[in-house]
Amino acid sequence: MATPAVMPSFSDSDRAELAQEADALIQRLRRHGRGEDGSVTRLVYTAAWQGAMAEIEDWFRAAGLPVRSDAVGSRFGRLSGDSPEVVLSGSHIDSVVRGGAYDGVLGVVIAGCAVHWLAATFGRPKRTIEVLANCEEESSRFSCNFWGGRAMTGRILEGESDRLTDPEGVSIGSAMRACGLDPERIPEAERADLVAFVEPHIEQGPVLATAGDVIGVVDQGVGVRGLSISLQGAAGHAGTIPMARRRDALTGAAEVVLGAERIAKEQGAPAVATVGHLTVEPGGFNQVPGSADFTIDFRHPNEAALDRFEASLLRMLEKVASGRELEARTRPLIGQPGIRFDDHVCACLETACQEAGVAWRRMPSHAGHDAQLLGSICPAAMLFVPSQGGHSHRPDEYTEVAHIGYGIEVLARTLFRLAYQD
């Protein structure tokens, strides 16, 4: 069949039908890892994760897309084209602990629906299209910092599969083996055939909903860094040690927490800093805290600004520690550079929004996403749909069905340009 120069109309009923298909699949997938409060906990390589992946595989096959798994268990539904070059679209299947039913999974579902429609309407594309169901993105079981994306971009280091363990002490390598995956084969997951990646995702913030826009064309991704900090003081009796003699690790940590907040505010938006984890030893109500271990997550889209941010945080930490006679140790936790997404892929998304007649805006992403990794090996960009109330990583995540329909239409039009046209 001859490929038309402009995609013919994507009708209102196409959009409504595909949105219903997507919603039905979201409802089926949320059963895998469902908690009593309606939350979803679907951590990589667990039974819930395996159940969701099996459901996705069945759906890909029913849509006429043959499925394969890569070495780390990410699934790819394939629509073969004349060229083996691959236009990839999708997102991740795993969730955070007690998260919702939309983060990640909705991107897989939107991509699957768009490709299903393109295959049924136009048949074989010029370039091959694959729908990605990425195995892991959230770092919620192992601190693995984009396991699926790092496998595809060849960034998993030798020995990591033994070193990374979950809170029960299970290594990520043995969790893989329990799912029938061989950690020795991880290098085989690296991709050299990608020519574009488009990641649909929920916004996870309030910008679209507040502005009344339905689609976000995401042209940059924020840089994320994490520091693990340990403050060592001296534990002791809460009654007998005078205030002047104390080396209280927790009061020091409190000063650092407030200092991080002050530095982020002084840098100004979009800089953010968060202390989300803190433990105190020995932890008795009648004991002066001898050690405090905590994390600082800080973000900015600009690498130079992120460097200045980090330098200010470390100077502040040093000052607090020396003023309180505490010993400070720091260790990098994660590091993901910011990225400017590809101009051409963003332009395709914008044209698709105009053709669909939907309210849209350009915007940055303030969360880390796989597109930041894949964008380092091929042209990439993201498409956001609204998150009700700006909520994510909690049980009440929700995106309106009509908005999902527009997400599918905009992605279908974008993939048409990237895979069916020159």
Interface with Zn ion (CB under 5 A) = 103-104
Q: In angstroms, give the least distance from the CB of 103 to Zn ion.
A: 4
- What sign results for the dihedral spanned by CA atoms 154, 157, 162, 163? negative
Least distance to Zn ion from the beta carbon of 291, Å? 33
Q: Residues with Cβ < 8 Å from 49, sequence gap 6 or more?
A: 32, 33, 42, 43, 93, 94, 135
Which residues touch 199 (CB under 8 Å, ≥6 apart)? Answer: 89, 90, 91, 107, 369, 370, 371, 374, 380, 381, 382, 383
């932890």: which residue's tokens?
283
* Of 328 and 383, CB closest to Zn ion: 383
Cβ at position 137, least distance to Zn ion in Å: 6
Looking at the Cβ atoms of 104 and 233, the one nearer to Zn ion is 104
135 Cβ neighbours under 8 A, 6+ residues apart = 44, 45, 49, 53, 72, 73, 74, 75, 92, 93, 94, 147, 148
CB atoms within 10 A of CB 28: 14
Residue 116: CB minimum distance to Zn ion, A = 22
CA distances from 181 to 60, 173, 288, 370 (A): 20, 9, 48, 21
Provide the minimum distance between the beta carbon of 132 and Zn ion in the complex, in angstroms, as a whole number. Answer: 13
Q: Are 141 and 166 in contact (CB under 8 A)?
A: yes
- Which residue has its beta carbon closest to Zn ion? 104
85: buried, middle or exposed (CB in 10 Å: 19+, 13-18, 0-12)?
Answer: middle
Q: Which is nearer to Zn ion, 90 or 173 (CB)?
A: 90
Closer residue to Zn ion in complex, CB, 103/397:
103
Task: Give the nearest distance from C-beta 12 to Zn ion in angstroms.
Answer: 29
Taking a C-beta distance cutoff of 8 angstroms, is the pair 161, 72 a contact?
A: no
Pairing of β 83-92 and β 194-202: parallel
Instruction: Give the C-alpha separation, 352 to 364, whole Å.
Output: 18
DSSP 62-119: HTT--EEE-TTS-EEEEE--SEEEEEEEEEE----TTB-SSTTHHHHHHHHHHHHHHH
Secondary structure letter of residue 307 according to DSSP: H
- Its sign, for the CA torsion 299, 331, 369, 418, is positive
- Give least dist CB 87 to Zn ion, A: 21
CB of 393 to Zn ion, least distance (A): 9
Q: Which is nearer to Zn ion, 104 or 259 (CB)?
A: 104
- CA dihedral over 121, 126, 128, 129, signed as positive or negative: negative
**Residue with Cβ nearer Zn ion (183 or 386):** 386
Work out how close the CB of 94 gets to Zn ion at its nearest, in angstroms, rounded to a whole number: 9
How near is the Cβ of 182 to Zn ion at its closest, in Å?
27
Residue closer to Zn ion, measured from CB, 103 or 297: 103
Q: Which CB, 128 or 365, lies closer to Zn ion? A: 365
Which residues touch 20 (CB under 8 Å, ≥6 apart)?
401
- Give whichever of 73 and 233 is closer to Zn ion, judged by the CB atom: 73
Cβ proximity to Zn ion: between 104 and 149 the closer is: 104
The token duo for 152 is 């595809």
